[in-house]
Structure 1
């Protein structure tokens, strides 16, 4: 069994124009970092012309599909019957995207199958991380 899950999703960028632009995004989950989810947008979809990734907690995504969650750089909330809004706050401004909630639930189900909620600590590499930290300080 692979220790990484990647899933492509279609995100709809919320803009001031009435038509929302659809752009590809990739959700990423790695058993080696069991509390985190990453969402990446390819270079052609960004203003900077370089891939942009946002990392946030799996719990934030799970909670945000049912009720507003987050107070920092990433915020998630339900929108209508079948969509979830993800807000990404940066110095340059706020990007808001809609993703089908069913796609997010499918991704989180796969992550749950890989690392059950509550068992994340079993997959953390604390010994390796502690060794690296001590090597850097010495």
Structure 2
């Protein structure tokens, strides 16, 4: 079984214009970083013209499926029957996107098959990580 899950999703950028353009994004989960999820937007979909990747807690997605969650740079909340709203806050501004709940649910199901919720700590080798830190400090 692979230790990395990648899933393309369709995101809709919420803007002042009446049309909400569809933009591609990729959800990414790696067993070696079991608490985190990454969402990547390709360069053509960003104002800066470079790929943008947001990393946030998998638990944020899990909780955001049912209720508004997040107080920092990333916030998630359900919207209607089959949408999630994701807000990405940065010094340059805020991006708000809608994604289909079903796509996120499929992604989360795959991540929990790989690493069950609540058992993420079994994937982290603290002794090894501490030894690496100490080796570099000497």
TM-score of the pair, normalised by structure 2: 0.97
* 1:75 corresponding residue in structure 2: 75
Once the two structures are TM-superposed, the CA of residue 82 in structure 1 deviates from its matched residue by 0.4
* 1:16 corresponding residue in structure 2: 16
Return the alpha-carbon distance in structure 1 between the equivalents of residues 127 and 43 of structure 2: 36
Indicate the SS of the match to 1:49.
coil
Indicate the SS of the match to 2:107.
helix
Once the two structures are TM-superposed, the CA of residue 126 in structure 1 deviates from its matched residue by 1.7
Aligned residues: 138
* 1:127 corresponding residue in structure 2: 127
Please list every run of at least 4 consecutive aligned residues from structure 1 whose deviation after the TM superposition is greater than 3 angstroms: none
Return the alpha-carbon distance in structure 2 between the equivalents of residues 52 and 134 of structure 1: 32
Q: How does 1:45-56 map to 2 (within 5 A)?
A: 45-56=45-56
* 1:118 corresponding residue in structure 2: 118
Q: Which whole-Å deviations, capped at 9, do the CAs of 1:26-48 have from their partners, x for residues lacking one? A: 00000001000000001111111
Once the two structures are TM-superposed, the CA of residue 125 in structure 1 deviates from its matched residue by 2.5
Q: CA RMSD in A?
A: 0.7
Unaligned regions of 5+ residues in structure 2, if any?
Answer: none
Unaligned regions of 5+ residues in structure 1, if any?
Answer: none
Q: How does 1:19-30 map to 2 (within 5 A)?
A: 19-30=19-30
Q: How does 1:30-49 map to 2 (within 5 A)?
A: 30-49=30-49
Return the alpha-carbon distance in structure 2 between the equivalents of residues 128 and 96 of structure 1: 39
Indicate the SS of the match to 2:94.
strand
Q: Which whole-Å deviations, capped at 9, do the CAs of 1:1-27 have from their partners, x for residues lacking one? A: 000000000000000111101000000
Once the two structures are TM-superposed, the CA of residue 70 in structure 1 deviates from its matched residue by 0.3
TM-score of the pair, normalised by structure 1: 0.97
